[in-house]
């Protein structure tokens, strides 16, 4: 079954409306719009293009951009390289070092139907595959029991309680169903100060 990519600003908007926290963000279509960004630097800048899903691999993400002047140059660089892009998404830059990067995924399994994946995020997802797989909805007890059995799971639980983590998973699942998505990856989901913030979101919708 084929699927289409849901662009990140639409994913983050849906997640935010569904009760998840996100950074402040806006979409720019032209470099000169950088001066109108309604929040202060530093910024994270990412390409919005339906044909480019893994932007870090092709250099389509800039982090910790320190000023609106530098932002304008970064936007110009991205749009020059991908002139058919929808634009760029500009987010307030949050320092992931101050928290823990988690991964939250939801997808369709041929045997079990809809499943959620939860574990260490960032680059560690592909390296360690340290996550649990559950059928939604989940509860705090199940999340805690599962994460204590995988590498790094204790770190996630130390930053945010299992009940709150289960609430975040279930809220994301609610959005997933409401939007009719066939896949959702939130990576990283930044766990910091007892909360979870979706820094990046990729979704697909079956044709």
Task: Give per-residue pLDDT as tens, 54-108.
Answer: 898 899 999 999 999 999 999 999 999 999 999 999 999 998 888 999 999 999 9
List b or e across 170-180, with b for residues whose CB sees 16 or more CB atoms inside 10 angstroms: eebbebbeebe
Q: How confident is the model at residue 40 (pLDDT cuts 50, 70, 90)?
A: very high
Q: Where in the chain is the domain with CATH 3.30.470.20?
A: 97-206
Burial level of 92, CB count in 10 A (0-12/13-18/19+)?
middle
How many beta carbons lie within 10 A of that of residue 156, not counting itself? Answer: 28
As annotated, the residues of the chain forming the CATH 3.30.1490.20 domain(s) are: 24-93
Question: Which among 166, 43, 187, 23 has a CA at the least distance from the CA of 101?
Answer: 187
Provide the pLDDT confidence category of residue 207 given band limits of 50, 70 and 90: confident
Mean pLDDT of the region 125-148:
90
CA pair distance 28, 18, nearest whole angstrom: 24
Q: In CATH, what number does 97-206 get? A: 3.30.470.20
Could you give the 3-state DSSP secondary structure of residue 70? helix
Per-residue pLDDT, 190: 97
- pLDDT confidence of residue 9: 97
What pTM does this model have?
0.93
Q: Is the pLDDT of residue 28 over 80?
A: yes
Q: 206: pLDDT confidence band, cut at 50, 70 and 90?
A: confident
Is the pLDDT at 127 greater than 70, yes or no? no
**What does CATH list as the number for 24-93?**
3.30.1490.20
Q: What is the DSSP letter of 137?
A: S
* Residue 144 main-chain phi, psi, to 5 deg: -65, -45
**Residue 153: its H or E element:** helix 153-159
């Amino acid at each position: 079954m084929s699927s289409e990519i849901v662009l990140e600003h639409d994913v983050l908007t849906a997640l935010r409306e569904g009760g998840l926290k996100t950074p402040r963000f806006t979409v720019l279509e032209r470099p000169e719009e950088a001066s109108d960004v309604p929040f202060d630097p530093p910024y994270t800048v990412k390409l919005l293009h339906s044909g480019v899903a893994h932007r870090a691999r092709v250099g389509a993400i800039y982090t910790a951009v320190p000023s609106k002047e530098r932002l304008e140059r970064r936007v110009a660089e991205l749009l020059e390289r991908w002139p058919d892009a929808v634009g760029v998404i500009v987010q307030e830059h949050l320092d992931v070092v101050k928290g823990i990067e988690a991964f939250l995924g939801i997808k369709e399994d041929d045997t079990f139907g809809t499943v959620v994946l939860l574990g260490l995020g960032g680059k560690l997802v592909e390296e360690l595959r340290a996550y649990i797989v559950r059928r939604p909805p989940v509860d705090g007890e199940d999340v805690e029991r599962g994460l204590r059995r995988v590498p790094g799971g204790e770190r996630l639980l130390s930053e945010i309680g299992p009940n709150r983590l289960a609430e975040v998973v279930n809220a994301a699942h609610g959005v997933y169903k409401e939007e009719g998505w066939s896949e959702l990856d939130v990576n990283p989901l930044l766990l910091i100060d007892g909360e979870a913030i979706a820094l990046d979101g990729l979704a697909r919708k079956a044709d």
